[in-house]
A and B are shown apart, each in its own frame.
Chain A
């Protein structure tokens, strides 16, 4: 009798131990009561964030293909490592992309000189044919700005585009770049000053 009691108890302890440990290290977790696997989760993350992530990588690398590579790299990294140790997936993805982009630029210094930012080609070609002058003017208007942005350092371009083009808050920018919130103001200011000096030089 005692033997059986002991055995049952022992088994319970074993089962308890392993079940507890298992949930700790497992990659499956609950999302609103529903069990979601990593791949579903990552699919969802892709749908939610791919656009802003691509835009961000594009701002640094200035090339669509490379930007796509960067984002793909980040997701593959997340997939292969599992999402279990990651507190905020969005911030994590931003960080990985940022590191990748700057590594890429460091590895190939020509990249920064070769790639150029572009604006979207005007959406309706009819509009362009109707008012060719206006379309020309439009592209003219941006071209100076684009070339100035192209010549900015990647760090400056990153912060300017994040703030003014993608309208992120200081807090978000701080989270992405790792600068402190109070530092961002200074950085933005110096970037704008640089842009201004480039634009006035160009027009002279």
Chain B
């Protein structure tokens, strides 16, 4: 009687023949004792057998008409066909080839005279996607004499020790711009005077931001940490014990390691081999290139195992811990701090990429890599950072801990929390709504959602606010709430519309009816905009910029977005707005209730962030996402370069991955410096704040990181694994899911968004 509750499940399990022997035995004993439960079991058994007997009147097969309809459905081709591209490209290539060949050959002759490698080899090295197996080849072939590298040397940066970075061309272009950034380091902005200021602001940080602790509990230096791990790994191999638990702080890793110990003999000896290699490598101080190339070779021998061994390979990887992972780093586009210490970007608060990917994953499909923007994934979550102190607009947190996927790396999470506006502080608003009513809006209730969005927005109008609604290119609705809501009842989707014309009309209308002293905003509600030529897109973006200068911001609401949405993203970025996707009624409701303040009431505009890394502490770094939002370091203080706005109570998060130098001189040195620059609404000048992170703060382990920062790191990793499905540096969703589940169970409140992310991870296994 006392613990009948725990047998309830067993009863159902037993009825379904899904019970193990031990549970069955316990249940039988209990049923013998407990009258109530045995009666319940008996009744349930009867119910179950009755249900089993029933023959339900379900249709037996699809009607012929339905079958016909299904078979005759046309395939929808969103993506472009390679055949078509090939048909265009092949003639072009041939023509170009014919034209360029003579010049090409003469260059070949010349380079032979100078003793460099032949250009054709150079072309190979540059244009090929370099996978792990090709690493050796490309090292040999990209020598300093190839065309591009010669160019960058002449522009003033040194590239001799450039690591084996894979996707060659674009990567190299970036490093060209890095050399420009490099020169910026010498700019007067960073004179000794600003150093003094930096120190001051660090004290300020200690006082105001009690959250960032100087973590001196772990006095182990980075190098000594390495040695402990080594020895413990050796004991694993010889004794098959789990004594390395202390050295490996992350419990997920331990779990994997245990199972890795059960590998057959061949595999185990391979692990030992790998460890030896790793040790050698570390003894020889990783800087020596040839040694690391050798290690690479051993890794490759592991990699070439058959598919069945793939799982085991992953486990050996985590067993090898930081050694194996260091070879993964070469698959990541790391920036060397010596060459480029600045990461500068405009903030982003979009989430549309996340919403679109979620829809695809929930449908059981794999989202195409090009629609993934990691910053949308990271910023989809509310991290609830501490509120800023009185009088400040932002609170900045910097949290760093060991990277849970590539354990020798560090993760740095930079978070900005905006203040919440009080009720009386708001400016007036004037909304111009452009409602797309083209035929595609008729699909899947999109029009319904769009109309609902307009009426919800109308419901948010306060005295002094005004609103005009343009439906496609035809109809204009204006007036008070009720008038708008009534007029919306007559709107029907249909027909072909020219998005470009409508957009220009709407901007025009917004300008003609400009309300001075209010925030003028164009709200664009659409499902997609394909069929715009690149020239037209460029033109529209230019016009958007023009209107932005005239204080008309925009906001793009995507209802049921499908396919390429990069234009809408650019449109929102250029137009000082956000690109938000919704695909359910609940989300729409949430956008106009709890998220309304964050989306439509701004606390700061033109918000840019610059993170500077100290080359004496940080060896290399890379930023997760924000690819299109990045800007040159000198543009940080250039106010003619636009950036995005932050709404009331909104937070913005950026995630970095760092590798540290092995020889950090002192824990008191600063490691990273975050500056942000913003404009308060209605004020001409800009404000700038600066926060520092000391080298001691970088010592934290994964488990010591704040839960919010960990969530950001996991979301970022997931997005990147979707964006680079073939890059083995990123972890499979199974591993991310493990970490996320553990994080939620131990350190997070039950949150709908986290459960949703878990579900996505589960489905994209």
Q: Which chain B positions have C-beta within 8 A of A42?
A: 70-71
Indicate if A167 sits at the interface (CB-CB under 8 A).
yes
Indicate if B192 sits at the interface (CB-CB under 8 A).
no
- Chain B residues proximal to chain A, CB less than 8 Å: 8-13, 15-16, 18, 40, 43-44, 47-48, 50-52, 54-63, 66-67, 69-71, 73-76, 79, 81-83, 86, 90, 93, 97, 101, 105, 120, 362-366, 759
Q: In the complex, what residue of chain A is closest to B10 when comparing beta carbons?
A: A185
Q: Which chain A positions have C-beta within 8 A of B105?
A: 2-3
Q: Decide if A82 touches B62 in the complex (CB within 8 Å).
A: no
Contact of A118 among B56, B66, B73, B362 (CB under 8 A): B56
Q: Which chain B positions have C-beta within 8 A of A92?
A: 364
Contact of A96 among B48, B93, B364 (CB under 8 A): B364
Contact of B82 among A7, A18, A170, A192 (CB under 8 A): A18
- Shortest distance from the beta carbon of B559 to any chain A beta carbon, whole Å: 16
The contact sample of 18 A-B pairs, CB cut-off 8 A, is: A2-B105, A18-B82, A22-B83, A25-B79, A42-B71, A54-B59, A57-B58, A68-B59, A71-B62, A76-B69, A79-B71, A80-B76, A96-B364, A99-B362, A120-B56, A146-B54, A160-B51, A188-B15
- Shortest distance from the beta carbon of B55 to any chain A beta carbon, whole Å: 4
Q: Which chain A positions have C-beta within 8 A of B83?
A: 18, 22
Q: Which chain B positions have C-beta within 8 A of A113?
A: none
Q: Which chain B positions have C-beta within 8 A of A10?
A: 93, 97
Q: Which chain A positions have C-beta within 8 A of B75?
A: 27, 38, 79-82
- A94–B63 alpha-carbon span in the complex (Å): 19
- Shortest distance from the beta carbon of B718 to any chain A beta carbon, whole Å: 18
- Interfacial residues of chain A within 17-60, with CB under 8 A of chain B in the complex: 18, 21-22, 25, 27, 38-39, 42-43, 46, 50-51, 54-55, 57-59
Indicate if A85 sits at the interface (CB-CB under 8 A).
yes
Q: In the complex, what residue of chain B is closest to A75 when comparing beta carbons?
A: B70
- A42–B70 alpha-carbon span in the complex (Å): 9
Q: Decide if B71 touches A43 in the complex (CB within 8 Å).
A: yes
Q: Decide if A192 touches B12 in the complex (CB within 8 Å).
A: yes
- Chain A residues proximal to chain B, CB less than 8 Å: 2-3, 6-7, 10, 14, 18, 21-22, 25, 27, 38-39, 42-43, 46, 50-51, 54-55, 57-59, 64, 67-68, 71-72, 75-76, 79-82, 85-87, 91-92, 95-96, 99, 117-121, 141-142, 145-146, 149, 160-161, 163-165, 167, 169-170, 178, 185-186, 188-189, 192, 195-196, 199
Q: Which chain B positions have C-beta within 8 A of A57?
A: 58
Contact of B12 among A67, A72, A185 (CB under 8 A): A185
Q: Decide if B59 touches A14 in the complex (CB within 8 Å).
A: no
At the interface, is chain A mostly helix, strand, loop or mixed? helix
Q: Which chain B positions have C-beta within 8 A of A64?
A: 57-59
- A165–B687 alpha-carbon span in the complex (Å): 68
- Shortest distance from the beta carbon of A52 to any chain B beta carbon, whole Å: 10
Q: Which chain B positions have C-beta within 8 A of A163?
A: 16
Q: Which chain A positions have C-beta within 8 A of B10?
A: 185
- A27–B335 alpha-carbon span in the complex (Å): 39
- A14–B96 alpha-carbon span in the complex (Å): 14
Known: A14-B90, A25-B82, A82-B75. A54 touches B60 (CB 8 A): yes
Q: Decide if A55 touches B56 in the complex (CB within 8 Å).
A: yes
Q: Which chain B positions have C-beta within 8 A of A54?
A: 58-62
- A95–B362 alpha-carbon span in the complex (Å): 9
- Shortest distance from the beta carbon of B627 to any chain A beta carbon, whole Å: 23
Known: A72-B69, A95-B364, A170-B18. A192 touches B44 (CB 8 A): yes
Q: Which chain A positions have C-beta within 8 A of B63?
A: 68
Known: A14-B90, A185-B9, A192-B48. A178 touches B67 (CB 8 A): no
- A120–B56 alpha-carbon span in the complex (Å): 6
- A119–B57 alpha-carbon span in the complex (Å): 5
Q: Decide if A145 touches B52 in the complex (CB within 8 Å).
A: no
- A188–B15 alpha-carbon span in the complex (Å): 10
- Shortest distance from the beta carbon of B293 to any chain A beta carbon, whole Å: 27
Q: In the complex, what residue of chain B is closest to A106 when comparing beta carbons?
A: B585
Q: Which chain B positions have C-beta within 8 A of A22?
A: 82-83, 86
Q: Which chain B positions have C-beta within 8 A of A119?
A: 54-57
Q: Decide if A96 touches B9 in the complex (CB within 8 Å).
A: no
Q: Decide if B70 touches A18 in the complex (CB within 8 Å).
A: no
